[in-house]
Amino acid sequence: MKRTVLEMLNSASQNDEFKDVDYVSDKTDKGWKSLTFKQVAEHSDCLAISLLKLGLQKNETVAIISEGRSSWIVSEYAVLKAGGISVPLSVKLQPDELMYRIKHAETKFVVISKNCVSKTFSLAEEMAHLGIGIIYLDNDTDTYESLKHINNRVYLYDNLMEDGRKNREKYAEQLAKSIAAVEENDVVTISYTSGTTGNPKGIMLTQLNYWANAHDALRYFKLKFKSKMFVVLPLDHSFAHTVGFYVATLCGIHISFVDSRGGAINQLKNIPINIKETNPDFMLSVPALTGNFMRKIQDSINAKGGIAKFLFNKGIKAGEKFYGNGYNKPNIFLRMWKYPIYKLADAIVFKKIRKIFGNNFQFFVGGGAQLDIKQQFFFNALGVPVYQGYGLSEASPIISVNTSYAHKFGSSGGVLTGIKAKIVDPDGNELPAGQKGILCIEGLNVMKGYFKNPEATAEVINGTWLNTGDMGYIDKDNFLYVTGREKALLISSDGEKYSPEAMEDAIVNSGELIYQAVLYNDHCKYTSALVTLDAHRIKDYAKRNNITDPQKMLEAVKKSFFSFTTDGAYKNKFPRQWIPSVFRIIPEPFTEQNQMMNSTMKLVRFRILQNYADVLKSMYTADGKTDCQENIDAIKKLM
């Protein structure tokens, strides 16, 4: 049997245990609507027939621009069955960014949802000129007719599905031949990098890449069969893509998508509602998402005050001491000392908080970026642990993960059993356990290469080994620690290098008033930082402490900024010489709208540093370390 994702879907759709189990669910006006594994297989057959009729050829590409929904999953399987390649694109990309990827991938069709159609209107004429067809996922006739007026190759998803259903018998042989022609080395997706360090590159992931990573992840994490998962992350996110599409077929996971009707604002409002409606067993998360959950929980408790706040704070601290790092348990006397207050807080406060995640919720699986240890301590004490992992799109993407049976907070978990990992120095020499260097991996999950970019491919793949570009180390217990991107390193005046991400997370998670932080040092005598503030917390803090003077408020912000240096969670973690000597307050947050954050909620470091070059320069002048008027003015605005 071929090791392909199509075989995985085929097995799930014919397996007596899974075939009639719900695979995907969407919220509609009439409630939640589901498709079983068998139905997804059948629907994708019908759509694949229509794609073949429309002339899609072997290895031609189809872009998909949509929020997470059942029709995305059906569309991707249909593209693969027709012999094509899927190009998942973020709904948050700007029109020019979309068009760059559409043209670079040599796209033949674009599948698009109603939420993204406004971007398509500006591109529809150019797509028509290039001969690119549009498949519209929603039954919005007015929009369909408007698009058709610009580009006559516009098709309704439901119409294509119905046409395929009518012609299923007639085209059965052609479809069977197309599926049989799919090989293990055929490309499934061209997934574009987020562009945090420059122009995006198209990552080619094959049938075997996904097959291997899905099997390795399931075997290592030991997911329960027929679990329920709630999906907030977009399906172009490689983590959600692998787990949501492919791991699900191996263990019968039921996926429910957040209700995105009405766009991003409605989506945010729907998250807590949908979680309660779907009662998931687990969720996939990224640090920005769990960070928002943590802040909202803390703000809610602070607003209640009284005994609830007292028990919550005492209980979280007791829970952190009781569990330790999850792997090396504290001594029995400390655990016994902390147990009563922890269990009291759990029974009175934590139990109620957990209800916001439904009645069955057990854990988050974290990825996408490094998760600060304070978040890991917090959620574990709360009773909804985040099992942090690490991955890279170029690795399909899961490389390591913490699990319920073996986890160590602060780490990215153990490396999957089907993957080899080593830490090397800049010359490629392997380093011993505990020593920091560059992480390289080898396995069937390593990408085929970058699309139309052999030079970039050669830079990261040496023989069978992939250079991840991430710095880290493997400890004596075989847990992987990722300390940051090689390209994001701070460099001091004497040439010494340091990865800033962990310290940036510590500043944000310890500092009540700090919202975002970006550290900078380019061959300078000291490190500086750009920060944004949490406007709501600034106002609340000023009110609670009766502060009206911006200068006094700035002193509170300074104290908040440096609070990580005395926080027990980060004791002895950061070398003193890299702690920032000065910071500047940026008046507005770094967001996707101002292009300082990418679609996976990571800060686009090179763009931030480029955009605020003058501000950074000002911190290295003769008066650079003194309180500046810009900080006072920013505080005034927020107050």
Question: What's the CATH number where 291 sits?
Answer: 3.40.50.12780
107 phi/psi in degrees, rounded to 5 = -70, 140
Instruction: State the angle between helix axes of 550-561 and 629-638 in degrees (0 to 180), rounded to the nearest 10.
Output: 100
Query: Is residue 361 pLDDT above 80, yes or no?
Result: yes
Does 447 fall in a domain?
Answer: no
Tell whether 506 and 584 lie within a shared domain: yes
User: pLDDT tens-digit profile of 249-261?
Assistant: 999 999 999 999 9
DSSP, residue by residue, 313-370: HHHHHHHHHHHTTSSSPPPHHHHHHHHHHHHHHIIIIIHHHHGGG-SS--EEEE-SSP
What is the mean pLDDT of the segment spanning 374-398? 95
* 501: nearest Cα among 365, 369, 367: 369
User: pLDDT tens-digit profile of 241-298?
Assistant: 999 899 999 999 999 999 999 988 899 899 999 999 999 999 999 888 898 899 999 9
Tell whether 500 and 372 lie within a shared domain: no
Residues 275 and 281: their CA atoms lie apart, in Å, by 10
Query: pLDDT value at position 199?
Result: 73
What is the mean pLDDT of the segment spanning 589-618? 86
Residues near 192 by Cβ (< 8 Å), separated by ≥ 6?
Answer: 87, 89, 101, 200, 201, 202, 203
364 phi/psi in degrees, rounded to 5 = -100, 150
* 382: nearest Cα among 409, 351, 412, 417: 351
The model's confidence at residue 173, banded by pLDDT at 50, 70 and 90, is very high
Tokens of 20: 């009639």
Residues 575 and 483: their CA atoms lie apart, in Å, by 14
User: pLDDT tens-digit profile of 311-331?
Assistant: 999 999 999 999 999 999 899
Tell whether 591 and 614 lie within a shared domain: yes
Tell me what percent of the chain is helix, strand and coil, each rounded to the nearest 5.
Answer: 45, 20, 35
Does 446 fall in a domain?
Answer: no
The model's confidence at residue 193, banded by pLDDT at 50, 70 and 90, is confident
DSSP, collapsed to helix, strand or coil, labels residue 532 as strand
Tell whether 126 and 234 lie within a shared domain: yes
What is the mean pLDDT of the segment spanning 84-102? 93
Tokens of 628: 């500046």
Tell whether 109 and 250 lie within a shared domain: yes
What is the mean pLDDT of the segment spanning 561-578? 89
Tell whether 132 and 223 lie within a shared domain: yes
Residues 398 and 204: their CA atoms lie apart, in Å, by 15
Tell whether 44 and 134 lie within a shared domain: yes
Q: List C-alpha distances in Å: 78 to 132, 206, 243, 415, 495.
A: 18, 16, 19, 33, 52
The model's confidence at residue 159, banded by pLDDT at 50, 70 and 90, is very high
| Cross-strand bridge partners of residue 401 | 389, 414
Instruction: State the angle between helix axes of 117-129 and 141-150 in degrees (0 to 180), rounded to the nearest 10.
Output: 30
Query: Is residue 573 pLDDT above 90, yes or no?
Result: no
Does 454 fall in a domain?
Answer: no
Query: pLDDT value at position 311?
Result: 96
Tokens of 426: 């800049």
Tell whether 560 and 542 lie within a shared domain: yes
The CATH number for 600's domain is: 3.30.300.30
Looking at the structure of the chain, the number of domains it has is 3
DSSP single-letter state for residue 56: P
CB atoms within 10 A of CB 343: 15
Is the preceding omega at residue 550 within 30 degrees of 0, hence cis? no
Cα 246 to chain centroid distance, Å, stands at 17
Do the bridges between strand 437-442 and strand 420-424 make them parallel or antiparallel, or are there none, so unpaired? antiparallel
Query: Is residue 470 pLDDT above 60, yes or no?
Result: yes
Tokens of 587: 């008046």
Tell whether 528 and 553 lie within a shared domain: yes
Residues 410 and 12: their CA atoms lie apart, in Å, by 36
- Of the three residues 278, 302, 325, the one that is the final residue of a domain is 278
Q: List C-alpha distances in Å: 370 to 193, 203, 347.
A: 17, 21, 31
Q: Are 155 and 300 in contact (CB under 8 A)?
A: no
Residues 27 and 256: their CA atoms lie apart, in Å, by 8
Q: Are 212 and 418 in contact (CB under 8 A)?
A: yes
Tokens of 509: 């998670």
Does 581 fall in a domain?
Answer: yes
pTM, two decimal places: 0.85
User: pLDDT tens-digit profile of 215-227?
Assistant: 999 999 999 999 9
Residues near 128 by Cβ (< 8 Å), separated by ≥ 6?
Answer: 150, 151, 152, 153
Residues 316 and 569: their CA atoms lie apart, in Å, by 12
Does 449 fall in a domain?
Answer: no
Please name the residue ranges forming H helices in 511-594.
535-544, 550-561
Does 82 fall in a domain?
Answer: yes
User: pLDDT tens-digit profile of 46-87?
Assistant: 999 999 999 999 999 999 999 999 999 999 999 999 999 999
CB atoms within 10 A of CB 351: 12
Does 354 fall in a domain?
Answer: no
Using the structure block, give the residue that is written with the tokens 């993960």. 401
Tell whether 224 and 122 lie within a shared domain: yes
DSSP, residue by residue, 59-107: T-EEEEE--S-HHHHHHHHHHHHTT-EEEEE-TTS-HHHHHHHHHHTTE
Query: Is residue 194 pLDDT above 90, yes or no?
Result: no
Backbone region of residue 32 per phi and psi (left: phi > 0; alpha: psi in -120 to 50; beta: other values): beta
Tokens of 286: 């990224």
Tell whether 102 and 200 lie within a shared domain: yes
DSSP single-letter state for residue 168: T
Write out the residue range of the structural domain in which residue 573 sits: 489-638
Burial label, 31 (beta-carbon count in 10 A; 0-12, 13-18, 19+): exposed
Does 23 fall in a domain?
Answer: yes
Residues 371 and 227: their CA atoms lie apart, in Å, by 24
467 phi/psi in degrees, rounded to 5 = -85, 110
Tell whether 123 and 172 lie within a shared domain: yes
Query: Is residue 196 pLDDT above 60, yes or no?
Result: no
